[in-house]
Amino acid sequence: MIKKPSLLPIDEIEIFGSSALVAGVDEVGRGALFGPVFASAVILPQSAFPKLRDLGVKDSKQLSEKRRTELAQQIQAMAQGWQVGYATSAEIDKINIFQASLLAMQRAVRRLQPQPTVCLIDGRFPLPDLVIPQYTFIKGDQRSLSIAAASIVAKVWRDQLIVRLANKYPEYDLRANKGYGTQKHRLAIAQYGCSPQHRLSFAPCKPI
């Protein structure tokens, strides 16, 4: 078992070796009221690390929408492998958002080609039923470049899906809120009710 370092940030190449296929894994959309929870898994080659550091890859929440989109394209072009996975609103309602988040991350990892030799997971909890060695990191998107890259890819893919769905459900202001519970979004739920993409197990969306 490799001991997780206490200092920030971690150096994946130094810890796991240059020959390891290390996948960073992160999810986005956990707190939204609308739409799926998304995850991404990204394997970066050794050559990509200095380039992506210079480009400013970091936690997706610290980047503008325009910069995230630019970086996601560069990450995908440089990655040795990358994938996204998601769990639908119906799955979230059935198994709860915590389990659905793990499921989305698990799906992203299982779609990767090549398969990684180790996974770095953002958060406290490992992915169930995954035979690949995995290590969890609190605030991993601030500690690991691979996890930060995954957070950017997942965020961009989810946001693009929500924008497409906004054309179908214009009353909820989804282009602006990306499915999160802004005041305008909550007022629209009160006025129009929920769409099939809303999470009915979340308090603002629960049927009265």
Question: Which residue type, as a one-letter code, is found at position 143?
Answer: R
Peptide bond into 114 cis (omega under 30): yes
In-domain check, residue 12: no
The total of other beta-carbon atoms located within 10 Å of residue 93's CB is 17
Residue 78 lies in domain: 17-203
Does residue 182 belong to any structural domain of this protein?
yes
Residue 181 lies in a domain: yes
Q: Residue 9, preceding bond cis, omega within 30 degrees?
A: yes
The answer to whether the beta carbons of residues 119 and 25 sit under 8 Å apart is: yes
What's the confidence (pLDDT) of residue 140? 92
- Indicate whether 11 belongs to any domain: no
Residue whose pair of structure tokens reads 């991404």 in the numeric block: 40
Report which residue type is found at 89. Answer: S
Single pTM value for the model: 0.93
Query: Does residue 10 belong to any structural domain of this protein?
Result: no
The answer to whether the beta carbons of residues 177 and 75 sit under 8 Å apart is: no
- How many domains is the chain built from? 1
183 vs 187: CA distance, rounded Å = 6
pLDDT of residue 145: 95
pLDDT of residue 174: 98
Looking at residue 62, its pLDDT comes to 85
Instruction: Please report, in tens digits, the pLDDT of each residue of the chain (208 residues total).
Output: 344 444 457 888 888 888 899 999 999 999 999 999 999 999 999 999 999 999 989 878 888 999 999 999 999 999 999 999 999 999 999 999 999 999 999 999 999 999 999 999 999 999 999 999 999 999 999 999 999 999 999 999 999 999 999 999 999 999 999 999 999 999 999 999 999 999 999 999 988 6
